[in-house]
Amino acid sequence: MPSRFVDLVAEEAGKTGDTRVAFNMLLTAETLAEQANAEWICEKHLTDAVKIVAYTS
């Protein structure tokens, strides 16, 4: 998984203080990327998940 995804999740975990949510986002994004074999799906899903977490925090 490209490091920018890991960095994005780590940054979001720092903002929200909830590493469990960030870790779950990373696992979900990684699973989608593996299933679809397409990096852009992973990036879009993770970006959307970060926006949702940021909005609800």
pLDDT at 17: 72
**Residue 55: per-residue pLDDT:** 60
Polymer length in residues for the chain? 57
- pTM for the whole structure: 0.34
Could you give the CA distance from residue 18 to residue 11 in angstroms, rounded to a whole number? 11
Q: Residue ranges per domain, the chain? A: 3-56
Q: How far apart are CA 18 and CA 37, in angstroms?
A: 28
From first to last of its 57 residues, the chain has per-residue pLDDT tens of 456 767 777 777 777 677 777 777 777 777 766 666 555 555 666 677 776 666 655
3-state secondary structure of 37: coil
